[in-house]
Amino acid sequence: MRVLLTTMKMVRVFFIFCMAIFLNSAPQPAFADTSDGKTPSPAPDIQTTYTADLAAMMNPDGLMLMAGGYRRWVQETDEKGMPARYTQAGFGLGINPAFAKGSLHAQWQPAVFFNLRMEYDLYRFFGSNYGLLSFPDARAKFGKDELEDLKGSEEKATGHRGLIQPTLYAKAGPLLIINQTDLAYYRFSGDGPYFLDLEYDTLVKDGDYVLANRTQFFIPTWKGAGAAILYVGPYYEITNAHDADLTRQRVGGQLYWVPADTLWGMDKPRIYSQLGVNIQDRNREDEMYLTLGFGVDFNR
């Protein structure tokens, strides 16, 4: 009970800190070049959005509740009124049966085809549901059976992650192509020397990094009023934990559906899913995986 109270106090303090930064950040004016036909503004358009998402996954099994918000300063919009150039600052809070996570991020989009995000994440592991598990070496297996055998040996610990995430966008007719790279650096307070990272489902050494790259193809198959749209398409991901030299490759299909502009006072309700197969994985090769999520925004 004492550990739980301490954890809740840490999350509460972190939440207040995030909110203070989020609500008191000053906008940074910028002016756009009008030569490309986009619409500049003499002062940035300030947008404030809160988000909430619930996501579940199978193989490995997991559940995550996430909430957060961001403030965006838009310097330029495209012909459809969508942000083309902007800066953004925000926070996030997440919880699942294994850990709680608080996040701060900054994001910069200098052009419609490129986005750069930098993020800091603070984890508090509850000592249950595989968070946090230590492994003696990089060759250790961490499949479903092995994790069941290790139940009860989880540690109450903290973790830190620094994330740099560049994203590239391209469009070919109606086809939207997104390529995103994660460079994540980890620190843990547990025994180690290797730890099970539940975000990427791999083994990470304290002070090591994970490199992940995913390519997504989105094809619009239905268009409704306003922002309502359905995208489907293929998906490919490769992840590598540097010190453990663990590589996983996945391929599958995905959908992203916004059924309406608003729903019961909530903005941009969305359902998203991925279904595929692990074509390279030490523990789950040739096995299927599934993710399913639901989220909404609240615009101010």
pLDDT 10s digits, 246-265: 999 999 999 999 999 888 88
pLDDT of residue 40: 52
Torsion sign over Cα 141, 146, 251, 256: negative
Instruction: Give me the percent of the chain exceeding a pLDDT of 70.
Output: 86
Q: What is the reported pLDDT for 178?
A: 98
Note whether 212 and 184 are within 8 A (CB). Answer: yes
Nearest CA-CA partner of 252 in 299, 292, 198: 292
Q: Above 60 in pLDDT, residue 236?
A: yes
Tokens of 143: 């499949």
Average pLDDT for 142-160: 93
Domain residue limits, the chain: 79-86+94-290
Least confident of 2-6, 100-104, 142-146: 2-6
Class at the top of the CATH hierarchy for domain 79-86+94-290: mainly beta
Q: Are 272 and 256 in contact (CB under 8 A)?
A: yes
Looking from the CA of 111 toward its CB, the CA atoms found within 13 Å total 8
> 65 vs 51, 93, 101, 207, CA distance in Å?
11, 8, 10, 27
Question: In the predicted model, what is the mean pLDDT of the chain?
Answer: 87
d(CA 262, CA 60): 33
Phi, psi (deg, nearest 5) at residue 96: -145, 180
Q: Per-residue pLDDT tens for 110-147?
A: 999 999 999 999 999 999 999 999 999 999 999 989 99
pTM over 0.75: yes
Q: In this predicted structure, what is the pLDDT of residue 128?
A: 93
Supply the DSSP string of 81-144, one letter for each residue: S-EEEEEEEEEEEEE-SSEEEEEEEEEEEEETTEEEEEEEEEEEEESBTTBT-EESSTT---SH
Give the pLDDT confidence of 46-82 residue by residue, as tens digits. 999 999 999 999 999 999 999 999 999 999 988 777 8
Rounded to the nearest 5°, which phi and psi values hold at 134? -105, 150
Residue 23 in this model has a pLDDT that exceeds 90: no
CA separation for the pair 298, 292 (Å, rounded): 21
The two structure tokens encoding residue 90: 């925000």
Side-chain half-sphere CA neighbours of 110 within 13 A: 2
- What are 179's two structure tokens? 């390529």
